[in-house]
Amino acid sequence: MSERQIAEEKVKPYLIKRGFSEDLISDYDSVFVQFGTTTGRVDFVCYHIRGDRKLPFLVVEVKTPKEDLDPIQAESYAQRLDAPFFAVTNGEEWHWYLTGKGQSNSIRLSDCPLPLAYTRLEAQAIEVEHKRDVLELIKIYEEKLENDSRKCPGNYKNCRFMERPYRECDSCLIWNVVWINWSLDQLEKLYAKFRQMRVSHLIGILASRDVLWSVYPQNAMMISKWIQKDVKRAKDTIAYLINERISVEERFDNVVAGRYHIPGIGPFLASMLFAGIDRRKYTIISSRNLEGLKRLGLIDTQPFVFRGIDYLNFNKLMLKLSANFTDKFGFGKTALVHDFTLIVPNYLDTGRWRG
């Protein structure tokens, strides 16, 4: 087969299978790269959307079976296009790389720098109910939750989740799910009345480490200054975020790094902001939750770059998983699935959920 045949009959179909959208893959040999007076052609460029911009994500260099999979040319193209990843392939064997700053400084990766192909991700979500080991772990988790509610020295319904005053709190599951719901309650109040809120009230929610857990002090300061600098812009951004007529992917990408970017907000905190819109539709997803899904065998690759399309698809999986919780005590399935996937690796390693 010629290089073009390999590219069009093997390489491009494989990229689509791995989750790249066909309309975000360049035509074969159509992207030009300038090196001084020399012009090179890139075999394929896979793009991703950041806000309202289409940016190079992966450069692919195609070789014939007789050629070595030398990464130097692909590396130089990726560096020139500012693509974070590149690959070299003959259609059968693939070498994936994280683009380095200088020549031969790139890092070889074990797999494609994307989550699972989205069709596979959705298929796996459908199969959650057939994974008996996962369902058994959910049962064990909810039994622990029930035992903790009985053993609570105080009234678990009035959990003092921020103080955690009792020794039993160290291993208790209740305080975190209560905290999750309290945080989402604060965001719901914000979304309902943000147009009438004073600057201090906006800062008290969006820049609060109690509401947005683990937001670094410097990030909280960035959010606070952003609100103070232009409160109208901040309120317009909130209005954009909660506008359900706009796609999830577009809003997510714009809030994280696009036209409506909130300084100090990354993918994890953005997912929290979405869960505050409607906790029945949106879940909270951090890298630790993805690690939990991986340990459960529901995914086998975590994304290097977490975009709106990734949130949309992993959210579908989290919602599918959440449907298997009985939620006997009414803590809410968004809180339960977040906490469960967050701490299940610790349980699998130590036999303890927390503590």
Does the pLDDT value for residue 17 go beyond 90?
Answer: no
What value does the CA radius of gyration of the chain take, rounded to a whole number of Å?
Answer: 23
**Would you state the pLDDT for residue 355?**
67
| Most confidently modeled range among 37-46, 95-104, 137-146, 165-174 | 137-146
Q: How far apart are CA 139 and CA 325, in angstroms?
A: 8
pLDDT classification of 132: cutoffs 50, 70, 90 = confident
In the chain, CATH 3.90.1570.30 sits at 3-114
* pLDDT at residue 118 in the model: 42
pLDDT surpassing 60 at residue 86:
yes
More confident residue, 223 or 168: 223
CB 77 within 8 A of CB 42: yes
Q: Cα(193)–Cα(203) distance, rounded to whole angstroms? A: 14
Report the pLDDT value the prediction gives residue 158, as an integer from 0 to 100: 77
Q: What's the average model confidence in pLDDT over 145-161?
A: 80
pLDDT computed for residue 75 by the predictor: 94
CB neighbourhood size of 313 (10 A)? 23
For the chain, the 3-state helix, strand and coil shares in percent, each to the nearest 5, are 50, 10, 35
Give yes or no for residue 49 having a pLDDT over 50. yes
Q: Which of 46-55, 79-88, 102-111 has the lowest mean pLDDT?
A: 46-55
Going by pLDDT thresholds of 50, 70 and 90, the confidence category of residue 123 is very low
**pLDDT band, very low/low/confident/very high, at 216 (cuts 50, 70, 90):** confident
DSSP per residue over 121-169, as a string? HHHHHHTGGG-HHHHHHHHHHHHHHHHHHHH-SS-GGG--TTT--SGGG
Could you tell me the pTM of the whole model?
Answer: 0.65
Three-state DSSP class for residue 89: strand
The model's pLDDT over 298-347, given as tens digits with 9 standing for 90+, comes to 876 666 668 888 898 889 899 999 999 999 888 999 999 999 999 999 99
* pLDDT of 122 higher than 50: no
- Which residue type occupies 107? I
Q: Among residues of the chain, what percentage have pLDDT more than 90?
A: 59
Average predicted confidence (pLDDT) for the chain: 87
At residue 116, the 3 state secondary structure works out as: coil
Q: Name the pLDDT band for 70 (thresholds 50, 70, 90).
A: very high
- Determine the CATH number of domain 3-114: 3.90.1570.30
User: Which pLDDT does position 103 carry in this prediction?
Assistant: 80
Confirm if 69 and 95 have CB atoms less than 8 A apart. Answer: yes
Tokens standing for 252? 């997510």
